[in-house]
Each structure stands twice: as structure tokens, then as C-alpha cells.
């Protein structure tokens, strides 16, 4: 992992075998979207859409810390570099515009704030739960919109399927 990634994640060692000879590293914290999913505040289609959107935002290079400007070693004309950067922006702008059209600019900007600080939230259980409840209320319309954009709304959450069979 890069130093940037190590700052975002908290890694802990975990023993694989009984005697503890074999160890593996495990990410011990998640994004706010993982917390919402684990706490049953959003469903699988919403979580999948959030993950896909975060990947698109990351690919677009809009994060200053990781611009992802590929260099092939040869000099390229300025317009070719500009086209390359525009292509990266387009992979992010289409789902974002979809959310703006369906939910409005205010909700879309709230979504972007959560995407930008996805790894930053309270760590104590009561504060995390309270924060997650507020986040779920703010994000659910946008996540519903994203699930329609990415076509993840056709998935059924296995936890809901199993729960409905027991009734």
C-alpha cells in the first residue's frame, strides 16, 4: 500500500493458525458506507453503488493526493494530455450529474462531502451509531439515485431475502 493508503486505513494483525505462526493484515476500519451497510441502514444495491461511485471518483483523478496522470515516457501534445484528463473527468461527471438531476445540487454536494471524507467518522460505538443514522438520512436519496444509474437496484440484498423467508 502507498503511504496515502496507509494513512486512510487502520491495519491490525490477525493470526490465521491456532499457534499464531501465520499472520495476516486486516483492515480494521471501513468507510462510512460500509458502516451503514453493516448496521442495516442501507441495502446492498446502495452499498454497491457507493463503492462504484467512489471508484469512479478515484479514477477521475480529482483527488489532489493521487492525480493518476499516466506518463508513457514520450512527449505528448497539449491537446492529447487535455483529452486524456477530460476522459478521466467524464467517468465521474456522468453519475454526479445523474444525482444532481434526481436529487438536486444540495444533496449531491452532501454526497461528495461524504465521498471525500468516507474514512473519517467517530470510532466509539455510540457516536458512530448516531453519526451513521444522520448520514443514512442524508445519503439515502443519493444512494438510491446512484443505484439506478449503476443498475445495482436490480440486486436483492441476501440478508433481506433470508429475513423474508423466515416470516
- Enter the C-alpha cell of residue 146: 446512484
Separation between Cα atoms, residue 67 and residue 154, nearest integer Å = 33
DSSP string, 87-137: HHHHHHHHHHHHHHHHH-HHHHHHHHHHHHTTT-S--SHHHHHHHHHHHHH
- pLDDT tens track for 82-135: 555 555 556 678 898 999 999 999 999 999 999 988 878 887 888 988 999 999
Q: How confident is the model at residue 21 (pLDDT cuts 50, 70, 90)?
A: confident
Give me the pLDDT at residue 38, please.
82
- Check residue 70 and give its pLDDT: 52
26 phi and psi angles, rounded to 5 deg: -130, 135
Give the pLDDT of residue 83.
Answer: 57
> Taking Cα atoms as reference points, which of 118, 123, 129, 125 lies closest to residue 8?
118
pLDDT value at 136 more than 60: yes
Tell me the per-residue pLDDT of 26-76, one tens digit each, with 9 for 90 and over: 665 678 998 898 888 998 899 999 999 988 887 776 544 444 445 555 555
Task: State the pLDDT at residue 6.
Answer: 61
The residue among 94, 98, 99 whose CA lies nearest residue 114 is 99
Residue ranges covered by each domain of the chain: 30-68+77-155
The single-letter DSSP state of residue 160 is H
Is the pLDDT at 141 greater than 70? The verdict is yes
Amino acid at each position: 500500500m502507498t503511504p496515502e493508503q496507509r494513512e486512510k486505513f487502520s491495519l491490525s494483525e490477525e493470526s490465521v493458525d491456532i499457534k499464531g505462526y501465520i499472520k495476516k493484515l486486516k483492515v480494521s476500519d471501513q468507510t462510512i458506507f460500509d458502516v451503514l451497510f453493516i448496521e442495516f441502514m442501507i441495502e446492498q444495491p446502495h452499498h454497491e453503488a457507493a463503492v462504484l461511485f467512489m471508484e469512479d471518483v478515484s479514477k477521475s483523478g480529482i483527488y489532489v493526493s493521487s492525480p493518476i496522470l499516466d506518463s508513457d515516457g514520450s512527449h505528448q501534445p497539449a491537446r492529447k494530455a487535455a483529452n486524456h484528463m477530460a476522459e478521466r473527468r467524464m467517468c465521474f461527471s456522468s453519475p454526479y450529474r445523474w444525482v444532481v438531476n434526481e436529487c438536486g445540487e444540495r444533496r449531491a454536494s452532501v454526497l461528495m462531502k461524504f465521498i471525500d471524507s468516507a474514512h473519517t467518522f467517530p470510532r466509539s460505538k455510540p457516536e458512530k451509531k448516531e453519526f451513521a443514522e444522520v448520514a443514512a438520512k442524508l445519503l439515502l436519496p443519493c444512494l438510491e439515485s446512484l443505484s439506478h444509474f449503476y443498475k445495482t437496484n436490480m440486486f436483492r440484498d441476501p440478508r433481506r431475502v433470508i429475513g423474508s423467508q423466515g416470516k
